[in-house]
Amino acid sequence: MTTSLFAAAAADLTIERIRAFANQPEQVESLTLEFKQEFSSSLVKTVAAMANSYGGLIMVGVLDKVEDGAERVVGVDAQETIDKIAAACHARLDPPWEPTFIPVPLNDGSGRSVVVVRVDHTVAPRPVLIELKAPIRLTGQNSTADRARLLQLVREEQVGGALGLGQSLMAPRMETGGDGKATEDFILRTGINLPMGEAGTWRPLSEQGVAALAKALNNSPLPNALLNLMQGGETGHVGFRPLGHNRARTARLVWHIISRSPVEHPVEAVVTLKLPEVYGTTSAAPMATLTVDVHARIRLFAASLKQMAWPFVYPVPDLAELFDGLVRTLVDNTVVTELARLADIDASLVAQPRELHLVADGPVADLLHPEGLRQIPDSGGSHGGTFRANPALDLRVAQERQEQVDDWLRQLGLDAGLAGMEALVQRYRTSTANPKAYDTVDEEDASSLSTRTSAAS
């Protein structure tokens, strides 16, 4: 998926970044990506096809196939190439339209560059014709729209979101019990929107497909991140499986820790996939939604045991692992593959998560372990927040994902009116001798929580 390069500022598109992207063994041409050694007449058809489909990137000066050990990035004369593409787009496309061009120098003294051609389908006219035909994009190649697809293109408005640049989720709502009190310490939500393939718009969800998604989720990083919240105090859990409201176009998969205390599930995760209800052809592209909700109730769980002298607090490193586990799961290859199958789309169209919501029962500052943090006088505080991701970061890359998680933690601290979060995060990241050095719950507290959990389970 080329989302991060598509959204990156021109100044951030370095040749090092392009080489790293192009040299990945799994990086092949797809619905949203094409490599060209140099300008050719077929390049203009690819521009039209991407404009009529989901948009994408064309990298000119990069070989499609190379022998092992050979250099894939070869470069071109940037100005000459851009002039040829622009002239061909204005001469051959109906209506005349040109994409965005970003030359990236090789910086090797050759004077050559990679020309990154961005085709943003959200601003392109629809349809874009070439020789009175409307090209469309298939996996790694171009085709021609049939009559039905051409009519759909004519009726379509400019649509966004297929590349994950406008992911928007509704904030979760915290439920209350019969006494009017909240039933969670906090809810954390992330997710993505998915464009729908032709078959996915009419067929019901496959039981085998949903089971395969549940298996992928159980093998993802998320369960370990959820277990980590209990700090070793859990004695059993049930993996992701269908539970609750499952219908022909809705799948609801639930994972939870089990307990016999009054708080039955101290930690619970709910993954909901909703396919759009589509009857006939609409002007907007149908989109499915996938949401992942984490319900944390450890504070309420610990209080229900009535054996702790103070309320439970969440160590910041545990939240860092939870944020990371959520994101890693939604970019996990197996999870992405199963989502693509259910939506009947190419895996390259499964967007990366770009939004995180946190809703807490009370001030966030009260939920966080205070070591390393201090309240800013008269700062107020928050009961949660919306955390947006930098679209220029590729969340599949560990370093870039860590940068995003750290930004979210810093925002969490600032919104909560706390100073010291930046230094705490930095110490946590640079601590290599003891990865849990900043898991600041005392060993005695953790072991007693574990003991009480065992007794209550």
Report the CATH number at residue 52. 3.30.950
150 and 191 in a common domain = no
273 and 419 in a common domain = yes
Residues of the domain holding 293? 186-456
In a domain, 16, yes or no: yes
At 436 the pLDDT is 47
Q: Which burial class, exposed, middle or buried, applies to 51 when counting CB atoms under 10 A from its CB (0-12, 13-18, 19+)?
A: buried
149 and 258 in a common domain = no
pLDDT means per 10 residues, the chain with 457 residues, are 67 86 78 90 92 89 81 92 93 92 92 93 87 79 76 63 53 82 92 81 88 97 94 82 91 93 92 80 68 95 80 93 96 94 84 91 91 87 88 87 94 93 90 47 40 40
In a domain, 179, yes or no: no
215 and 107 in a common domain = no
428 and 301 in a common domain = yes
89 and 129 in a common domain = yes
Last residue of a domain, one of 155, 178, 206: 155
At 441 the pLDDT is 39
pTM of the predicted structure, to 2 decimals: 0.72
> Phi and psi (nearest 5°) for 263?
-95, 100
197 and 149 in a common domain = no
Q: Which burial class, exposed, middle or buried, applies to 297 when counting CB atoms under 10 A from its CB (0-12, 13-18, 19+)?
A: buried
In a domain, 177, yes or no: no
Last residue of a domain, one of 135, 155, 175: 155
In a domain, 277, yes or no: yes
222 and 142 in a common domain = no
Question: How many structural domains is the chain composed of?
Answer: 2
How far is C-alpha 282 from the chain's CA centre?
27
In a domain, 207, yes or no: yes
In a domain, 272, yes or no: yes
Last residue of a domain, one of 155, 171, 199: 155
Euclidean distance between CA atoms 42 and 397, whole angstroms:
32
In a domain, 138, yes or no: yes
**340 closest CA partner among 326, 330, 327:** 330
In a domain, 339, yes or no: yes
